[in-house]
Structure 1
């Protein structure tokens, strides 16, 4: 299942991989991480989402990006892998703090170029709006970086529909990455998902199986489990497949630090839910706004 990343973007697998679990505590060793990434690549991984702040603290910035760069360096399919990264946060003392000034974003972009070992970032996303910086200033810097050739595409993350419209008025936005899963459908309910579809912007769902906060509850859901048992897959695969039905421009980037988890995620691309199954899940998760 391939979908375009925005109006002019490349065709990418609808299921990518969120690499954060390899770099935040508790994390595997770098040797274990490298072997895991190579295994994912051998299974067909072509869409990776990372960030400079997927690390332990400010002294560890770029850890996740360097892991990915190291695994890709000698891989025969390196040129086929689309790597998206982000800037606009810091990790002082392990906290997550906004840093969206133009200067901070420019420095972060240049650091990501070095960490990933590339001359241009395929997709550079503002990790989150900085309340201390005018949103247009942060986004404007991303477009200046694009004009300078440092990034190919501008993306946003953790934004509202109003902020998306403001950004689109400044230049072409390729994607929005917000949280979306069966227990947190706020991105659909607050209009962001619909705005993306209307504007030709790809929507990338992070934590699509619930993330650390809601994963256990999602996987225990009786409707997901009943459908999964009938189709011979796990509840996480059903959850991903259902999320992908919410919009034709939607991608999911579940995290995985085990081969079996990644395989279960990829299976969602090869699964077609029946109309009855989609309706049952819509009812279970109170999706009453779907257009049919």
Structure 2
């Protein structure tokens, strides 16, 4: 496994996005726990979650509780695992998502997340999404209060703009360690945020990093967990994958790692084989020519 930094913490260069284990069409708990254990066994030490990763109304924190059970039952040393959770979104149970960036809500949500995870302080707590009805500075100010109170050890922000990153850093200082935006070969509108994160030394955690690799392409992987795009199976990523004898997903993750040393992808998974495949992406060495070839084939 390769490693990267989030603040002052060293984590695996590939994390696990645990959302598919708790939302619609989630696996049964046995397979979910097996997936988390497979990630740990593969050397993954970053698990990404949120209190809103659940399916039905009334089960807030389903994913956090699942992760806590998996860590407790693993049997190995999990002291180096960073569980990054998020607050500020909700799920009423109708398939939709809500946003609540009110400071009092965020502080209560963080305390509840810490209790579900069974920790005295959350290693990384991220504001899930800006609330258009709450001034950004007030929401970020709640993270500052959580840092000062010791409820969280480090703070992050998600689904944000360049200006929001700069404002958050002015409020949080060194307490801000990460930015989590959607980013993949198919969706690259967060390039400015990635560049700024690298400039500021903030970890950049792409969510939905495998978006754009079609399910029909999976000759070496039984299923693609998470969103998939409508791109053809005959892309440059698939061609390079065939040349290396690996899955297209591994090439996508290797490409992401090559974008910047601050990038830490968190691909989702709902079965052990998928996260095992993703973790192997750190072994894929893309040449300068291959990276240029992939870049030249990107849409837009």
- What's the TM-score bracket when you normalise by the shorter of the two chains? over 0.9
Structure 2 counterparts to residues 1-292 of structure 1, below 5 A: 1-6=2-7, 9-75=8-74, 76-94=76-94, 95-171=96-172, 172=174, 173-188=176-191, 191-210=192-211, 215-217=228-230, 220-285=233-298
Q: Would you identify which runs of 4 or more consecutive aligned residues in structure 1 move more than 4 Å?
A: 211-214
In structure 2, what is the Cα distance between the partners aligned to 1:120 and 1:219? 45
Between 1:59-68 and 1:212-221, the stretch displaced more is 212-221
**Counterparts of 1:167 and 1:253 in 2: how far apart (Å)?**
22
Cα RMSD (Å): 1.6
Classify 1:252/1:77 alpha carbon distance in 2 versus 1 (closer, same or farther; 3 Å).
same
SS in 1 for 2:156: strand
Q: Give the drift of 1:57.
A: 3.7
Offset from partner CA, 1:228-250 (integer Å, 9 cap, x none): 01101011110111111111111
What are the superposed Cα offsets for residues 105-153 of structure 1, whole Å, 9 maximum, x if unpaired?
0111011011111110000000000001000000000110011000000
Partners of 1:197 and 1:83 lie apart in 2 by 22
Instruction: Give the conservation status (yes or no) of the 8 Å contact 1:174–1:202.
Output: yes
Q: 1:237 to 1:231 in 2, by over 3 A?
A: same
* Other structure's SS at 2:181 match: strand
Q: Which moved more, 1:157-166 or 1:218-227?
A: 218-227
Task: Report deviation, 1:223.
Answer: 0.8
2-side partners of 1:58 and 1:152: how far apart? 29
Alpha-carbon spacing, 1:140–1:252, altered in 2? closer, same or farther (3 Å): same
Measure how far apart 1:12 and its partner are: 1.1
Q: Find the residue that maps to 1:48 and give its secondary structure.
A: strand
- Tell me the distance in 1 between the aligned counterparts of 2:195 and 2:277: 28
What is the number of equivalent residue pairs in this alignment? 283
TM-score normalised by structure 2 residue count:
0.90
TM-score (norm 1): 0.93
Deviation at 1:221, TM superposition (A): 4.3
Indicate the structure with greater helix content.
Answer: 1
Separation (CA, whole Å) in 1 of partners of 2:204 and 2:102: 24
5+ long unaligned stretches in structure 2: 213-224
Residues 209, 218 of structure 1: 8 Å contact kept = no
1:98–1:130 contact (8 Å) kept in structure 2: yes
Q: Which has the higher contact order (CA 8 A, sep 6+)?
A: 2
Shift of 1:193: 0.6
Is the 8 Å Cα contact of residues 58 and 90 (structure 1) preserved in structure 2?
no
8 Å Cα contact 1:182/1:218 also seen in 2: no
